[in-house]
């Protein structure tokens, strides 16, 4: 049913912002092979460049260094990465699916607030939550100090779980990544036929058994998608594991590049990491492709939520409070406390400069991504000749960057850019006896390129979903009324998509603000952003000084949370239907 | 075989009662249709019967056992009722056979399998046992949904618009098959529909609801020929509203005079309701009878709808067999079949009351 599909698409469009896949609707068959189509293939090729470079380096001999890596650190990277993935999976599944089911299907105090509050940890980058918990849980932190003071312990008297460990990294990543699973499972629970659950009840199964035998299997494809997203973020994480000194592929790439100065070996490690990423994407696609779980229904009904006993209500409340409290409220509170305990120092004269450079580079990247996304989408929409598959492929490649971990991206950009820079410099010196220095790799060009590669998918998905709502028939209707070309653009297209363009820009903007590893590697000398400063201060054991820039990033990070929760609230068909209406 | 009883059941989602039933009984082995317009509370009534909603007041009994009252509430999993939805709500992740055996948890694996196949055989879907729901047509899905509901031997089958998902051609066939099967098994059925024709075609008894209340319960014939108020009369079929004047001899209208029903007393009547088939065409012009001119004649197959304009300019619609279809422009005399004429009193401000005469 159309209405149902629209609702689902609206929900998924938002969810897909964080997805790499993209589907392309067959468009108007008329039109000619345009320049823009050719251009879109070029854009796709340029975006694919870093990954191609990385895989190209597989064939570059690196001699001893590779066997050295393989015999020493590689097993560690592999084990840690796998354990990290496993631990994060367990955590995000428990918190994400559990809380989604509770707020969707049960009645308990605070349910409405939790519905959106559970998104909040999305605003918290993993590396920042890692700093806050280190600040809170380390030896000199408030909790251990309190314990020692209260029980009169000394260092030898007690054991305290070390936060800077694999377990700590798992907890941190789990706490900020579970919203991906929450997001998709909530959407899945909302869209599944309530009738199916009710039939299950009348067939003699209680609420719990219906959950496991009907609701969970139906939501499985969505949950796997959310899990894949969370795992991709886990694989890309650099800040947390680096700070906690947990050796994974991302830290390994960084260290091989900067510590050992072995670009080829770093690229080869990056290639291995990319294989992991591709396996994830593949698994997710297979999972979606094989699902026969298509709804046999198009009918949506007001959800009758389970009423819980008082004890169950308290448990449900605590169950939802836990992730919000530990994933957002507590760390944010700590950041606020630390930032304002010494305002003078926290917001010193460097702070406005940091904000300015972060905001300007993020805004620039957002505008660039948006322009490229619009060009791609409209270019392909107007072209009726190029086979659908080719178009789909170019868009898919262009949005692939989101899956590339920051350190991999940095290596994949520095290698070719450095080569180009050196070639130009070499040629200029030979020909004109002038040194051009690093034109690409040492400037904002490399950084902006990295941002666009990484976050173009966000802009593409949002713009595409919105342009899709303008059907070819709308264009035709406008045409029959004499509104064509630019007029149609201003009177039909822009009014319809302007909201989404804004959303896309904000999402890219915020993602850039939060980005750490690529910025760290690619930024021009002396160019500091909030994320970089927070990282530097934290690694320098000056956690208090890291608080203010971290807080700024978290505050900006709340923007997409608001956008997401609003879009999701509107997504369910019949959401606004009055309660007293007969469900028919 | 069991019966279902509602006693003083009230339920609401907001301030107004969406269900306000003093008494409703679905007799053992009967197929009863809950009929009414959108939002009349019929679906909520069904959900109350299934245990998917708990009534705010009153008592619901199945087979004399209390299912819900002020102290007791039996959940849907313990009521032993079968439920069939408009969209069938088949479990897309299970095969047809596993859908049907979903409710057979009290049986061992092999017993459940045998029972599922047996009931699938009954509905003619045995060959599709290993298919998945999305591989079936709408009519087949409907049959599987019915089989799934019937498999655990429920005391009662509840159906919520079970045929509205089917296209017109298929609908009548599936309806008849379903009815025959349910009758053969002697199951007690409560079915919700908004389609009066469907209700009249299938039901042993029709319960007509409006604003959460039961307006009239009876056989199709009773409701059609003896509606308790104007709402019932017009919901079950077309009516002409002919202006009437109360005189000592009866209710005088342009179509003739209808007798004043007993019990009308001093209450005002401003119009009478006339079914289209109550207006008959006389073979020859008879000036002692009301006479008019045919202004519109629509052929609907077996019969025609003919609009006749009377001298005052008032138009009535009559239903005649197609073989007798008059042509537009012909003059004709009419007579009225008084058994298909209904009279309900108006209130002082001109609105009709719901009180039967």
Residues A394-406 pLDDT 10s: 777 887 788 888 8
Is A503 within 8 Å of A563 (Cβ atoms)? yes
The answer to whether the CB atoms of A213 and B39 lie below 8 A apart is no
Residues 171-230 of B with CB under 8 A from A: 192, 194
Alpha helix stretches (DSSP H) within A237-262:
239-244, 249-258
CATH of the domain at B137: 3.40.50.300
Is A578 an 8 Å CB contact of chain B?
Answer: yes
Indicate whether B249 and B131 sit together in one domain. no
* Neighbouring-strand partners of residue B332: B292
Report pTM: 0.76
Query: What pLDDT, on the 0 to 100 scale, is given for residue A197?
Result: 83
Q: Does residue A378 carry a pLDDT above 60?
A: yes
Query: What pLDDT, on the 0 to 100 scale, is given for residue A196?
Result: 82
* Domain endpoint, select from B175, B207, B234: B234
From the list A193, A294, A580, which residue is nearest B18 (CB)? A580
* Domain presence at residue B355: no
Indicate whether B222 and B285 sit together in one domain. no
Is A287 an 8 Å CB contact of chain B?
Answer: no
Is B119 within 8 Å of B149 (Cβ atoms)? no
Residues 519-538 of A with CB under 8 A from B: none
* Domain endpoint, select from B219, B234, B249: B234
Query: What pLDDT, on the 0 to 100 scale, is given for residue A569?
Result: 63
Which secondary structure element, helix H or strand E, spans residue A143, and what is its range?
helix A142-151
Q: How far is A396 from chain B (nearest CA, A)?
A: 29
- CB neighbour burial string for A396-428, b if at least 16 within 10 angstroms, e if fewer: bbbbbbbbbbbbbbbbbbbbbbbeebeebbeee
d(CA A379, CA A394): 12
Residues 294-313 of A with CB under 8 A from B: 294-299, 304
The answer to whether the CB atoms of A296 and B134 lie below 8 A apart is yes
Is B11 an 8 Å CB contact of chain A?
Answer: no
Indicate whether B142 and B212 sit together in one domain. yes
Per-residue pLDDT tens digits for B239-295: 999 998 888 888 888 888 888 887 777 777 888 899 999 998 888 888 888 889 999
Query: What pLDDT, on the 0 to 100 scale, is given for residue A3?
Result: 38
Provide φ and ψ at A238, rounded to 5°: -120, -50
Query: What pLDDT, on the 0 to 100 scale, is given for residue A106?
Result: 87
Q: Does residue A579 carry a pLDDT above 70?
A: no
Is B312 an 8 Å CB contact of chain A?
Answer: no
From the list A205, A292, A578, which residue is nearest B92 (CB)? A292
Query: What pLDDT, on the 0 to 100 scale, is given for residue A33?
Result: 52
Q: What percent of chain A has pLDDT over 90?
A: 12
Q: List chain B residues with CB under 8 Å of A220.
A: 93
Q: Does residue A416 carry a pLDDT above 50?
A: yes
Provide φ and ψ at A579, rounded to 5°: -65, -35
Indicate whether B141 and B178 sit together in one domain. yes
* Domain presence at residue B59: yes
DSSP A105-119: HEE-TTHHHHHHHTT
From the list A203, A214, A304, which residue is nearest B152 (CB)? A203
* Domain presence at residue B351: no
Query: What pLDDT, on the 0 to 100 scale, is given for residue A383?
Result: 63
Number of Cβ atoms within 10 Å of the Cβ of A115: 20
CATH of the domain at B264: 2.40.50.140
Task: Give chain B's domain count.
Answer: 2
Indicate whether B18 and B117 sit together in one domain. yes
* Domain presence at residue B349: no
Is A580 an 8 Å CB contact of chain B?
Answer: yes
Indicate whether B206 and B313 sit together in one domain. no
Indicate whether B183 and B245 sit together in one domain. no
State the DSSP code for B16. S
Where chain B has pLDDT below 50, the residues are 348-357
d(CA A217, CA A228): 17
Look-up of token digits 């130009």: A424
Indicate whether B19 and B166 sit together in one domain. yes
* Domain presence at residue B354: no
Indicate whether B160 and B139 sit together in one domain. yes
Indicate whether B60 and B77 sit together in one domain. yes
Q: List chain B residues with CB under 8 Å of A218.
A: 91-93
Look at residue A22 and give its three-state secondary structure: coil
Is B284 an 8 Å CB contact of chain A?
Answer: no
Q: List chain B residues with CB under 8 Å of A204.
A: 77-78, 80, 103, 105-106, 152
Indicate whether B180 and B320 sit together in one domain. no
Q: List chain B residues with CB under 8 Å of A217.
A: 91, 93
Enter the tokens of residue B151.
Answer: 């498999």
- Contact residues for A301 (Cβ-Cβ < 8 A; gap 6+): A193, A194, A195, A574, A583
With CA atoms as reference, the chain A residue closest to B38 would be A584
Q: How far is B64 from chain A (nearest CA, A)?
A: 19
* Domain endpoint, select from B217, B234, B251: B234
Q: Which domain covers residue B273, as residue numbers?
A: 238-342
* Domain presence at residue B125: yes
Q: Does residue A342 carry a pLDDT above 80?
A: no
Q: Domains, chain A, ranges and CATH? A: 25-56+343-567 (1.10.3720.10), 76-293+316-331 (1.10.3720.10)
Enter the tokens of residue A340.
Answer: 């304002």
Mean pLDDT of A523-538: 87
Per-residue pLDDT tens digits for A240-254: 998 888 899 888 888
**More reliable by pLDDT, A508 or A71:** A508
Is B78 an 8 Å CB contact of chain A?
Answer: yes
Alpha helix stretches (DSSP H) within A383-491:
388-398, 406-432, 444-468, 472-480, 485-488
Per-residue pLDDT tens digits for A274-308: 888 888 888 877 876 655 455 544 455 566 777 78
Indicate whether B196 and B77 sit together in one domain. yes
* Domain presence at residue B353: no
Mean pLDDT of A120-147: 85
* Neighbouring-strand partners of residue B84: B159
ipTM of predicted assembly, 2 dp: 0.71
Query: What pLDDT, on the 0 to 100 scale, is given for residue A5?
Result: 39
């Amino acid at each position: 049913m159309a209405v149902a599909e629209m609702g689902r698409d609206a929900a998924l469009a938002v969810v897909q912002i964080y997805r790499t896949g993209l589907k392309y609707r067959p468009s108007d068959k008329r039109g000619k092979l345009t320049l823009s189509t050719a251009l879109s293939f070029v854009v796709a090729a340029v975006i694919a460049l870093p990954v191609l470079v990385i895989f190209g380096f597989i064939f570059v001999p690196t001699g001893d260094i590779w066997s050295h890596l393989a015999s020493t650190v590689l097993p560690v990277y592999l084990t840690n990465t796998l354990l990290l993935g496993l631990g994060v999976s367990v955590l995000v599944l428990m918190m994400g699916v559990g809380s989604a089911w509770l707020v969707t299907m049960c009645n308990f105090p605070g349910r409405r607030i939790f519905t959106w509050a559970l998104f909040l940890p999305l605003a918290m980058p993993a590396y920042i939550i890692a700093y806050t918990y280190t600040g809170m849980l380390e030896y000199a932190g408030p909790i251990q100090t309190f314990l020692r003071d209260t029980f009169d312990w000394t260092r030898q008297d007690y054991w305290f779980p070390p936060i800077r460990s694999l377990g700590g990294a798992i907890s941190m990543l789990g706490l900020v990544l579970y919203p991906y699973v929450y997001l998709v499972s909530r959407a899945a629970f909302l869209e599944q036929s309530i009738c199916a659950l009710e039939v299950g009840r009348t067939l003699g199964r209680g609420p719990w058994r219906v959950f496991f035998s009907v609701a969970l299997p139906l939501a499985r494809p969505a949950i796997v998608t959310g899990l894949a997203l969370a795992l991709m973020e886990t694989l890309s994480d650099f800040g947390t594991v680096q700070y906690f000194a947990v050796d994974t592929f991302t830290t390994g790439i960084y260290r091989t590049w900067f510590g050992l100065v072995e670009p080829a070996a770093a690229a080869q490690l990056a290639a291995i990491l990319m294989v992991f990423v591709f396996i994830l994407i593949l698994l997710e696609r297979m999972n979606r492709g094989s699902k026969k779980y298509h709804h046999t229904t198009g009918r949506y009904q007001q959800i009758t939520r389970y009423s819980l006993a008082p004890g169950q209500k308290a448990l449900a409340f605590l169950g939802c409070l836990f992730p919000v409290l530990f994933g957002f409220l507590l760390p944010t509170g700590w950041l606020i406390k630390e930032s304002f305990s010494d305002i003078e120092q926290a917001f010193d004269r460097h702070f406005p400069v940091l904000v300015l450079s972060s905001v300007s580079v993020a805004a620039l990247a957002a505008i660039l991504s948006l322009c490229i996304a619009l060009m791609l989408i409209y270019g392909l929409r107007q072209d009726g000749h190029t086979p659908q598959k080719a178009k789909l492929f170019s868009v898919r490649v262009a949005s692939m960057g989101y899956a590339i971990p920051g350190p991999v991206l940095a290596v994949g950009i520095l290698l070719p850019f450095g080569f180009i820079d050196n070639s130009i410099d070499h040629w200029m010196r030979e020909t004109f006896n002038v040194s051009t220095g690093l034109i690409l790799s040492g400037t904002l060009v490399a950084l902006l390129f990295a941002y666009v590669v990484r976050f173009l998918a966000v802009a593409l998905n949002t713009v595409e979903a919105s342009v899709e709502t303008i059907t070819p028939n709308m264009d035709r209707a406008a045409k029959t009324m004499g509104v064509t070309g630019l007029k149609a653009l201003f009177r039909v297209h822009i009014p319809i998509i302007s909201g989404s363009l804004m959303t896309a820009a904000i999402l890219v903007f915020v993602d850039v603000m939060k980005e750490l590893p690529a910025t760290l590697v690619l930024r021009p000398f002396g160019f500091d952003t909030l994320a970089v400063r927070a990282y530097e201060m934290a690694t320098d054991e000056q956690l208090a000084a890291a608080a203010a820039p971290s807080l700024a990033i978290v505050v900006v990070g709340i923007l997409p949370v608001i956008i997401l929760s609003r879009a999701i609230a509107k997504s369910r068909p019949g959401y606004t239907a009055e309660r007293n209406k007969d469900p028919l | 075989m069991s019966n279902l009883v509602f006693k003083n059941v009230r339920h609401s989602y907001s301030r107004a009662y969406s269900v306000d039933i003093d008494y409703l009984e679905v007799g053992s082995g009967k197929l009863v249709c809950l009929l009414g317009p959108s939002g009349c509370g019929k679906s909520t009534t069904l959900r109350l019967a299934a245990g998917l909603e708990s009534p705010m007041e009153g008592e619901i009994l199945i087979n004399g056992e209390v299912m819900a009252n002020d102290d007791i509430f039996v959940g849907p999993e313990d009521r032993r009722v079968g439920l069939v939805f408009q969209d069938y709500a088949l479990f897309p992740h299970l095969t047809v056979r596993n859908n049907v055996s979903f409710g057979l948890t009290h049986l061992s694996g092999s017993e459940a399998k045998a029972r599922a196949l047996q009931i699938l055989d009954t509905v003619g879907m045995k060959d599709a046992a290993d298919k998945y729901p999305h591989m079936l047509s709408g009519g087949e899905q409907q049959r599987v949904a019915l089989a799934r509901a019937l498999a655990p031997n429920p005391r009662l089958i509840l159906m919520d618009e079970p045929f509205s998902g089917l296209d017109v051609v298929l609908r009548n066939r599936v309806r008849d098959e379903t009815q025959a099967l349910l009758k053969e098994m002697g199951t007690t059925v409560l079915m919700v529909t908004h389609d009066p024709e469907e209700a009249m075609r299938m039901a042993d008894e029709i319960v007509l609801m409006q604003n959460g209340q039961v307006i009239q319960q009876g056989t199709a014939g009773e409701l059609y020929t003896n509606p308790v108020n104007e709402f019932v009369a017009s919901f079950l079929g077309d009516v002409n509203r002919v202006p009437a004047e109360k005189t000592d001899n009866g209710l005088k209208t342009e179509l003739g005079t209808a007798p004043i029903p007993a019990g009308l007393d001093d209450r005002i009547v401003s119009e009478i309701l006339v079914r289209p088939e109550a207006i008959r065409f006389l073979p020859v012009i008879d000036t002692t009878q009301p006479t008019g001119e045919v202004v519109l004649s629509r052929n609907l197959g077996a019969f025609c709808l003919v609009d006749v304009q009377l001298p005052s300019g008032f138009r009535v619609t009559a239903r005649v067999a197609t073989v007798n279809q008059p042509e537009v422009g012909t003059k004709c005399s009419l007579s009225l079949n008084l058994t298909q004429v209904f009279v309900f009193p108006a209130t002082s401000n001109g609105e009709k009351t719901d009180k039967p005469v």
